[in-house]
Every structure is written in structure tokens, then in C-alpha cells.
Amino acid sequence: MPKIGINIATGSLQQAEMIVGIDLGTTNSLVALVHPDTRKPIVLKDQNGLALVPSILHIGKQGEITVGEAARPFLKSDPSRTLFSVKRLMGKSYKDLASSQDLFTYKIIDEGTDSLVKVQIDQQYFSPIELSSFILRELKERAEHMLKTPISKAVITVPAYFNDAQRQATRDAGKLAGLDVLRIINEPTAASLAYGLGISPEENKTIAVYDLGGGTFDVSILQISNGIFEVLSTNGDTYLGGDDIDRAIVDFWLQQVPAAKRPQKEDTAALQSYRLAAVHAKHQLTTDSNVEAIVDGHTFSLNHAQLEEIIMPLVGRTLTCCQLALDDAKLTVANIDEVVLVGGSTRMPSIKKKVSSFFGRTVHDTLDPDQVVALGAAVQADILAGNNKDFLLLDITPLSLGIETMGGLMDVLIPRNSKIPSRVARQYTTQQDGQGSMRISVYQGERDMVQDNRKLGEFNLTGIPGMPAGLPKVEVAFLINADGILTVRAREIRSGVEQQIEIKPQYGLTDQEVERLLMESITHAKDDIKKRALVEARTEGEQLLQTTEKFVTRYASLLSAEELSATAAAMQALQLAVTMEDKDLIHQRMEVLNEISRPYAERVMDQAVSTALRGQKIE
């Protein structure tokens, strides 16, 4: 195990060590690092000279995992076990995805609840965190293979609009892959860093980052002052990108084919060859002015002017998003000092031209647009490694700070390496009907179970008015001031009852202890995440038992004897599973119970509604 030294004041590592930057993308992922000799950021390429690793995963019958280009053929041959766009699932609940379910060819179990999504393959359930960790592990191993040295630290990028849960999920995925995630940074921030923007502390600038990838479009307006990046606004379209351009080209060509000769919807092979020819033509038009393609026995051509015309509506939509982002930031194009292009689709000359004329200035486009995010992550990694002496490192928290939640889990409010001063608030609720108090226990550390972390203090929020479980809204706020003093405040929002404590998190903590706590979190990551998944499954299982119990007791008279006995049996089976160590079993039995109760729950609710309409009450 390599020893590391951490400077508490700066959080920087005192010993030179390879820290990689990772762009964990929806379509493609890649790794970069600052070359120790040339001091320039470079992306790592495999033996075939490829830097991009497609974010595709195949999970075989024996559990064998294939990642990247090698997994691509399975998209067609084994779609139910082949996962793509996993990034779209990160930190999402079933409810969040209800409207976009049909975009995935693999099975996302449909609970319609607030709990986090899982993907089902046979009798195994995977969280998006686990799935992303498989991609990250592959990237880590590739990097180790190419650099011939163990890699244990990384900076990982996420979209600027990612919320707390999505960022935490990305962090956990890194941990599970055996990586100490030094920092999660925004993709547009990384892209700016790659162009050297914001490196010098006296720079004050407003930057627009235009990112048109394969399936998504994002625009971010950033402000840098004193070396700190702040996101002023973001806008975009999570379903707009190069894929739409490909479809538009195919449509353009199909218009030229007599209707009778056009391939039908079912003819996926012919449609696929149209799509591939369109992608090829699109890429070629970056350098050539005219291309020809022969597809399905027809000859087609495409030139610059035609392509520009085809993509006009699409580009128009992206520019509308840019205007909305400016409006949100209360700025106009005149306030923008720099424009950075990101994403493979910005290679298209007509897109560059349109974006440049919208903002009224030349754009940064000298770096490879699908590498620029990873390159910037590498620059950030290098700064955190303390190798870049010009960069002013801000004061940051060396360890994560959080509170204990259900089942002894650590819920992180302020992740390690956050800049201080800092303020974060999150809402919690009660578990029991009429619960009048709530214990807030504050911990520091990187482990998933609070028992493995360092307890900083605790207090009781009392005087919560009696309400059914889940109704009170308790806001817990963490504030760290510039001196590193942490104030934790809990407040029940309806009644206004409030309680707080003050803590010095770093008090009595030596560098060696911080180091030990960090290393332990990596060595135990696998067990920890397993334990967390089990505790979460148990909590979900217990909640389902409680709600089913309540429902059955209340509406017993409306259920048949068979329904009652089937429910009782399924509840008993779930009750038993909750006491065991197998999270998959818990999920299976929850699904069984849901299957049994769904039909009568719907029936009873319909009945309840119609009875209510007739002016009667059921109770």
C-alpha cells in the first residue's frame, strides 16, 4: 500500500504520485493525466491508438463483465444484458425515469417510487453506481497497464447540472472501483481548465461552454474569480445531439428514394447501414466538401451546404438554450469573455460558425473536443497533487462530514475536498407516527457505516409536533466558516423548532489519522458498498411491509380471502428476507409482494374514489 502524506491546510498530497482525470461520459469515457516530464495533459490511448472507451457494458451469464468497444456487438446480439447510457440513471429514482423507460433496452425494475433505480439482469440487481464502477475499473486498469504503475487516485467529471445525489453516486462508483476520488468537478469547468482559463488566480472572466455530444446538449455559463469557478447558469436538452444529426441525414436521403423502395421499420439491418453511412458522411464533411455513399443499392451524396441546411433547426434549438442560459445568468453575449467548444459534434465547421457568430467572438477549438473534458480533469488532478505551484489552493475539508441516517448509514452533507467556507442543507423526515424528537449524530470520514467513522457530536431536536411518519420536514444545515468551525443546525420547518451545535472537526486529528481514514475507505469500499446496499434494501423492504400492513388492515373488508392469504404469505417471506444478508432476495420478494398487491390496490383506490364522489366515506 503506498503511503501518502496529506497537508491538512491545503488537502494537497505532498508526494508526487500519478493522479488521473476521468471523463465518465454518457456515450464515451476516457482517462488523461499530466505527463510528469513534459508537464502537458495527455489522454491515454490503448494499443490500437484509441482514447475513447465507449460507455457500454455487457454482463455475461456467468457474471463476466465486458466493457467498451468489445461490448458493442452485444447491443444487437444480447440487448437485455447490455447496458449503455448508465450515466442517465445515476442518482435517479424510479419516478424520475417513468417517462423515459422505453429508451432503455435493458430492464429497469419499475417500482414507481422515490427509491433509487436498479437494473435487473436475471436474478441479479445492479445499482447504477455498481455499473459505473465497472466502467471506472476498466479505465483504471487500462491506465495501470499503460503507465505500468498502480493508480489509486482520480478526479472525475460530472455535468454542471448534476445534483447532490448524482455527484455522491459518482463518488461512490469511484470508490467501488478502488479509486480515491479527490474531487468531482463540473465538465464545463474541466473544459475551461484544459484551455488554461482560470489557472491564474488574478483572472476574472465569464465563460460560455457549449457542449454538443452524441446524445446530449449542455450549455453552461461560468464565472471565474480568484481561482474559483462558479456556475452562473446551465441549460440544454438531455435528448439532443449527434444522434439526431445522423437521423436527419438518413431522412434527407430517404426522401430521394421512391416510397416503395424505402426500408420498413422492421428492416433494422438496412436502417442500420443507412445510419452508419450517415455518420461516416457527417464525419468526412469536417474535412471534405462533398461525399458520396452507396447504401442498399442507392447512391447518395451530401455537401456542406446541404448538411448546413439539414442541421439548421437543430443548431437553432441549441442557440435558444444558450440565450436562456444567458437570461438566467442575467447576462448578454457582450458579457461573455470566452467561448469553449466541447463534444464530438462541435467538430462540424457549420456548428463552429453558428456558435461563434451567436456569441460574436472566436471560439476555443484547438483541442480535441471529445478529449477536452478529460484533459481538464487531468489539469485539476495535477493541481491537487500540488505539482502546479502557480495555482493557489483554497482551503478545503480533508474528510467528509455528514450525519447518521436509517440503519446506521453515513449521509454525507459536505464531501471531502470541498472548499471552505461552505454551507449545505438537506431535508429529512421521521420514521414513526407521532415521533416527537430526532437525534442528529454528526460524523466525519469516508466509510459508508457511521460506526467506522469518527463521531464529532450529537444532539436531539425535540418538540416536533405529532404528525404521521414522513410528514415533518427537518432541515439539517452544515455550515463551515473560514476558520474551519462547523455549525450543525436542525430545524423542523412547519413548527420552526430549532437546535444547533458547534464543532471543530479537525480538533485532535493528526495527518496520520486522516491518512489512515482515507486508506481504510478504499480498502473497505467493496464491503462498505455491499453493506450499504443491504441496509438500503432492508429499509425499503421494511417500509413496504409497513405500508402493506397499514393498507391491508384498513381495507381488509374489500379484499378476498385469497388476496389476504397470498399477501400474508408474501409479507412473511419478505419479513424473513429482511433478516437475512441477501439484498437480491429482498428485492425479489418485494417484487412478488408488489405483484400481488398491485391489482387489488388499484381496485380499492378506484372504489374509494367513486365512493368519495358519491359523498360517502369508507371509514
Please check whether residue 208 is in contact with residue 170, taking contact to mean a CB–CB distance below 8 angstroms: no
The DSSP secondary structure of 293-319, one letter per residue, reads: EEETTEEEEEEHHHHHHHHHHHHHHHH
Within 10 angstroms of residue 337's Cβ, the number of other Cβ atoms is 14
C-alpha separations of 479 from 229, 441, 485 in Å: 20, 15, 8
Smaller CB separation from ligand ADP, 11 or 241:
241
Q: How far is the CB of 26 from Mg ion (least distance, A)?
A: 7
Contact flag: residue 213 with Mg ion (CB under 5 A)? yes
Residue 472: contacted member of Mg ion, ligand ADP, none (CB under 5 to 8 Å, by partner type): none
Among 11, 21, 25, 386, binds Mg ion (CB under 5 A): 25
Please check whether residue 339 is in contact with residue 372, taking contact to mean a CB–CB distance below 8 angstroms: no
The DSSP secondary structure of 48-95, one letter per residue, reads: TS---EE-EEEE-TTS-EEEGGGGTTHHHH-GGGEEE-GGGGTT-BHH
Rounded CA separation 282/312 (Å) = 14
Smaller CB separation from ligand ADP, 174 or 242:
242
Catalytic option among 130, 138, 211, 244: 211
Catalytic option among 87, 175, 531, 583: 87
Smaller CB separation from ligand ADP, 28 or 127:
28
Catalytic option among 23, 111, 404, 540: 23
The question of whether 23 is a catalytic residue gets the answer yes
Rounded CA separation 566/587 (Å) = 18
Contact flag: residue 188 with Mg ion (CB under 5 A)? no
Rounded CA separation 189/342 (Å) = 11
Amino acid at 560: S
Residue 283: contacted member of Mg ion, ligand ADP, none (CB under 5 to 8 Å, by partner type): ligand ADP
Please check whether residue 23 is in contact with residue 53, taking contact to mean a CB–CB distance below 8 angstroms: no
Rounded CA separation 108/118 (Å) = 6
Residue 589: contacted member of Mg ion, ligand ADP, none (CB under 5 to 8 Å, by partner type): none
Instruction: Write out the residues near ligand ADP by the rule CB under 6 A.
Output: 25-28, 213-216, 241-243, 279, 282-283, 286, 343-345, 347-348, 370
Smaller CB separation from Mg ion, 347 or 524:
347
Residue 215: contacted member of Mg ion, ligand ADP, none (CB under 5 to 8 Å, by partner type): ligand ADP
C-alpha cell recorded at residue 192: 475551461
The DSSP secondary structure of 554-618, one letter per residue, reads: HHGGGS-HHHHHHHHHHHHHHHHHHHSS-HHHHHHHHHHHHHHHHHHHHHHHHHHHHHHHTT---
Instruction: Tell the burial category of 345 from Cβ atoms under 10 Å away from its Cβ (0-12, 13-18, 19+).
Output: buried
| Binding piece for Mg ion, criterion CB under 5 A, among 23-31, 32-40, 113-121, 590-598 | 23-31
Please check whether residue 23 is in contact with residue 135, taking contact to mean a CB–CB distance below 8 angstroms: no
Residue 279: contacted member of ligand ADP, Mg ion, none (CB under 5 to 8 Å, by partner type): ligand ADP
Number of residues that bind Mg ion (CB under 5 A): 2
Smaller CB separation from ligand ADP, 242 or 398:
242
C-alpha separations of 496 from 431, 461, 475, 476 in Å: 19, 11, 10, 13
The question of whether 211 is a catalytic residue gets the answer yes
Q: How far is the CB of 348 from Mg ion (least distance, A)?
A: 15
Q: How far is the CB of 12 from Mg ion (least distance, A)?
A: 28
Smaller CB separation from ligand ADP, 214 or 472:
214
Q: How far is the CB of 78 from ligand ADP (least distance, A)?
A: 22
C-alpha cell recorded at residue 219: 450549455
Catalytic option among 172, 187, 382, 452: 187
Q: How far is the CB of 185 from ligand ADP (least distance, A)?
A: 16
Secondary-structure breakdown of the chain: helix, strand, coil percentages, each rounded to the nearest 5: 40, 25, 35
Smaller CB separation from ligand ADP, 277 or 517:
277
Q: How far is the CB of 153 from ligand ADP (least distance, A)?
A: 23
Rounded CA separation 562/571 (Å) = 14
Please check whether residue 495 is in contact with residue 482, taking contact to mean a CB–CB distance below 8 angstroms: no
Q: How far is the CB of 343 from Mg ion (least distance, A)?
A: 5
Instruction: Tell the burial category of 490 from Cβ atoms under 10 Å away from its Cβ (0-12, 13-18, 19+).
Output: buried
Q: How far is the CB of 135 from ligand ADP (least distance, A)?
A: 12
Smaller CB separation from ligand ADP, 87 or 175:
87
Residue 216: contacted member of ligand ADP, Mg ion, none (CB under 5 to 8 Å, by partner type): ligand ADP
Instruction: Tell the burial category of 37 from Cβ atoms under 10 Å away from its Cβ (0-12, 13-18, 19+).
Output: exposed
Smaller CB separation from ligand ADP, 167 or 282:
282
Helix H or strand E segment including 229 = strand 228-237
Q: How far is the CB of 159 from Mg ion (least distance, A)?
A: 8
The question of whether 87 is a catalytic residue gets the answer yes
Can you say whether residue 15 is alpha, beta or left, with left for phi > 0 and alpha for psi between -120 and 50 degrees?
beta
- Which active-site residues does the annotation give? 23, 87, 187, 211
Positions touching Mg ion (CB under 5 A) are: 25, 213
